[in-house]
Amino acid sequence: MTLRKHRWAFLALPNILLLMLFFIWPLLYILLYSIYTYDPFQIFIRKFTWENYVKVLTNDLYVNAIFNTFQLAIIVTFFVIIMAYPVAYYLARTKSKTEDTIISFMILAPVLISVVTTSFSWVILLSPFGTLYRILNALNLIDGPLRIMFTKTGIIIGLTYGQIAYMVMTLRSALSNIDWSLIKAAKVLGASPARAFYEITLPLSLPGVFFGAIVTFSLSLSSFVTPYLLGSRLVKVMSIFIYDNIVSVYNWPLGSATATVLFIITTILLGLITYIFEKRLFGWLKY
């Protein structure tokens, strides 16, 4: 048989087994627990019910959290794209290799530091009487305590901070892949540099923007540490609800249902969007 030919496939076995046993299978636990009933004493009873999902999808607090989560993710993605694009453009165009390496390093370094540390730093800076307060107070621009922490603004700042690096690298890659002779062609046909950018570079970089945005959006939706620390549980997003239900209240069924909803939104929905867009919108990419 072809067993001899395919014996190398066994190399992948450890990975496959590991994922099946400790990744796929546990995920099913969430699905299972989400339809159990909550019990304050036993945590859950093996009685099937839809009430958890009903709560997640209709209860005001939860619907609000879903809305918050989306809103934050959209705003963050928007800002990340705007802030990252020029940097990516500069990186893609720079002729000096040393500058490229140095800037790349400086952009990616903050990302490899744990997210607690960077969020902690923003807490220090954005605290009601923290650094930013002191600066604005010295300039007489503010009277009372600074109201950025415990609000969505603080979370937006923190999340944007964490996502810029990835977007820069993705966009930079997309921009470098644009055939330089296309710009030259546009120029000899009379396009000014600005026009060439608008008509050629920008449209051709859109697939990169799109895929980077998907990742940023998805990571922002499911982000936990940053919203927790900067919103200090006053701003409710889905991941915080999951945490509260599981770790504080021990309502595992409800937490599981919340997690399932988050999972469906993030993974399946975004995966689907990506697939559709890839097929329909960027057909000209496949040349």
Partner 1 sequence: MEENFHIRMINISKSFDKNKVLENFNLNIKKGEFITILGPSGCGKTTTLNLLAGFIFSEKGEIWIGDNEVSNIPSHKRGASMVFQNYALFPHMTVYDNVAFGLKIRKLSKNIIVKKVDELLTLVGLEFIKYKDRYPHQLSGGEQQRISLARALVIDPEILLLDEPLSNLDAKLRNNMRVEIKNIQEKLGITTIYVTHDQEEALALSDRIALLNNGEIEQIATPKQIYNSPNSKFVADFIGHSNFIIGKISEILQDKAIIKIFDNLDIHTDLSSFMKKNKQVTLIIRDENIVISNNKIIGENVFEGEVDSSLYLGPFQRIYVRVGEVTLTVYCKAEQLRKTPIKGESIFVQLERNQLMILPGELDIDSSQT
Partner 2 sequence: MVEILRTNKIIKTYTYLILVFLWIPLFVILSSSFTKTNFISFPPELFSLKWWMKFIATDTYKRSTWLSIRISTIVAPISLIIGLLSSIVLVRYRFKGRNLFKIFFNMPYTIPQVVFALSALLFFTSFGHINIIHFIICHIIITLPFNIKIISASLQLTDPNLEKSARVLGANEITSFYKITLPLIKPGLIGAFLHTFLSSFNNTTIAIFIGTPKLWTLPARIFSEIEFHAYPDLVAAASFSMILSFIFMLLIHKYIGISSLYK
Which is nearer to partner 1, 14 or 190 (by Cβ)? 190
Taking CB under 8 A as the criterion, the residue among 86, 145, 203, 271 binding partner 1 is: 203
Q: Which amino acid is at 72?
A: L
Q: How far is the CB of 283 from partner 2 (least distance, A)?
A: 19
Which is nearer to partner 1, 2 or 181 (by Cβ)? 181
Q: How far is the CB of 203 from partner 1 (least distance, A)?
A: 5
Distance (Å, whole) CA 272 – CA 274: 5
Which class for 153: exposed (0-12), middle (13-18), buried (19 or more C-beta within 10 A)?
middle
**Which of the listed partners (partner 2, partner 1, none) does 48 bind, with a CB threshold of 5 to 8 Å by partner kind?**
none
Please state, as a whole number, how many other Cβ atoms lie within 10 Å of the Cβ of residue 189.
Answer: 9
**Which of the listed partners (partner 1, partner 2, none) does 261 bind, with a CB threshold of 5 to 8 Å by partner kind?**
none
190 part of the interface to partner 1, by CB under 8 A: yes
**Which of the listed partners (partner 2, partner 1, none) does 78 bind, with a CB threshold of 5 to 8 Å by partner kind?**
none
Distance (Å, whole) CA 31 – CA 246: 14
**Which of the listed partners (partner 2, partner 1, none) does 138 bind, with a CB threshold of 5 to 8 Å by partner kind?**
none
Tokens of 47: 């009685």
Residue 38 CB contacts under 8 Å (≥ 6 apart), including other chains: 44, 45, 52, 251, 252, 253, 254
Distance (Å, whole) CA 273 – CA 253: 29
93 part of the interface to partner 1, by CB under 8 A: no
Taking CB under 8 A as the criterion, the residue among 47, 147, 184, 279 binding partner 1 is: 184
Element (H, E) at 39: strand 37-39
Q: How far is the CB of 286 from partner 1 (least distance, A)?
A: 7
Which class for 74: exposed (0-12), middle (13-18), buried (19 or more C-beta within 10 A)?
middle
Taking CB under 8 A as the criterion, the residue among 131, 192, 248, 267 binding partner 1 is: 192
Q: How far is the CB of 173 from partner 1 (least distance, A)?
A: 17
**Which of the listed partners (partner 1, partner 2, none) does 115 bind, with a CB threshold of 5 to 8 Å by partner kind?**
partner 2
Residue 76 CB contacts under 8 Å (≥ 6 apart), including other chains: 156, 159, 160, 163, 216, 217, 220
* Of 31-39, 85-93, 193-201, 255-263: span binding partner 1 (CB under 8 A): 193-201
| Residue ranges that bind partner 1, judged by CB under 8 A | 179, 181-182, 184-193, 195-196, 199-200, 203-204, 283-287
